[in-house]
Amino acid sequence: MRDLDLQLDVPATGNSGLLAEKPANQKQTGEQEREKKEQLHGQEWLESDSCSSGCELSVEEAQDPFLVSIHIIADPGQSQPLQEAIDKVLAWIHPDLRLFRVSERRAPRRRRKAPKAAQPALAVVLFLQEEYGEEQILQLHRTLQRPPWRHHHTERVPGRFLPYLPCSQDFFTLAPGTPLWAIRPVHYGREIVRFTIYCRHDNYADILKFYELILRRSPSQRKTDFCIFPVFSNLDVDIQFSLKRLPRDQAPVPTDSSVLEFRVKDIGELVPLLPNPCSPISEGRWQTEDHDGNKILLQRFKEYVMALELLVS
């Protein structure tokens, strides 16, 4: 398993972890300030979680809105426009969603030409409230049609009837090796941010068990080819993680310029149970991969809790 071509420049204490090259000295203060702000946002989200029975949860017991996050690794000079593009799109759901961190490589990466019909293994789907009107969805769709976003593909809809919003079948991407993005209308309930991994047909059952182990929970919805794990829920938004089983003739391609990160309580207990080697890349952070070769990072939850306690004390 090849390690990520990055260097960690801060301890594993950020709200989604800071995975980046060492910046110049004049930039370190800005990055650290941003990290502190995001940690405080994490505390606010934890405190905003509804508990109607008046229960008192410790920070560790509370729902973690940043249990799952994504790091995107850009070529030199590309991190700022990509980060701004992501933040602008997520602001349609909630302005405090800090679920993505974009960092840069030291040098541009040479890429092999991917097959034309290649299916990226990772996707982000945003479900927007239908009651606000279709114009909101269409406006966001127009945003995704402008650089740095680019159209990737349009899904074919089974059956004779098209959805009332044809744009809801479009997928977009920011750069090669990064997740697909899509928008969907939601008819009722909260708006949703859903991380989706597309799985090889024969590996789906094993990958499902793998992420049950990582997330320490079972899916709330489960079918033979699809499942959804609840990650976080408050009055404004649901954050979900899902797996989608592809047909036998389709093979997902791991996103080599992005990586999922999960917060875990006890890496020591988890490592012996993992199917692939798991190696430390910094204090409190480990790297492994699932059965399809998707690289993931595991951050010790204790490091995050300690950071929050220091910030709010």
What are the pLDDT digits (tens) for 244-301? Answer: 999 999 999 999 999 999 999 888 889 999 999 999 998 889 999 999 999 999 998 7
The reply to whether 2 falls in a domain is no
pTM: predicted TM-score of the whole model, two decimal places? 0.78
Q: How many CB atoms lie within 10 A of CB 227?
A: 21
Q: Is residue 20 part of a domain?
A: no
Look up the CATH number of the domain holding residue 127. 3.10.180.10
Average pLDDT per consecutive 10 residues, the chain (313 residues; last block may be shorter): 44 33 38 46 43 35 80 93 95 89 88 71 92 79 93 73 60 94 88 97 98 95 96 92 96 95 91 94 92 96 51 38
Q: What is the pLDDT of residue 167?
A: 59
The verdict on residue 173 lying in a domain is yes
In a domain, 236, yes or no: yes
Cis preceding linkage at 166, omega within 30: no
Name 133's Cβ contacts closer than 8 Å, sequence gap at least 6. none
The pLDDT of residue 263: 93
pLDDT of res. 303: 53
In a domain, 10, yes or no: no
Contacts of 292 (CB under 8 A, 6+ apart): 121, 197, 199, 200, 203, 207, 252, 254
In a domain, 294, yes or no: yes
Structural domain includes residue 78:
yes
Please give the tally of structural domains in the chain: 1
Long-range contacts of 59-63 (CB under 8 A, 24+ apart): 59/305, 59/308, 59/309, 60/265, 60/301, 60/305, 63/231, 63/232, 63/233
What pLDDT score does 95 carry? 85
189 part of a folded domain: yes
Q: What is the pLDDT of residue 129?
A: 86
Residue 144: what pLDDT? 93
- Domain assignment of residue 121, given as a range: 25-109+117-312
pLDDT digits (tens, 9 = 90+) for 166-180: 556 889 999 999 999
What is residue 13's predicted lDDT score, i.e. its pLDDT?
34
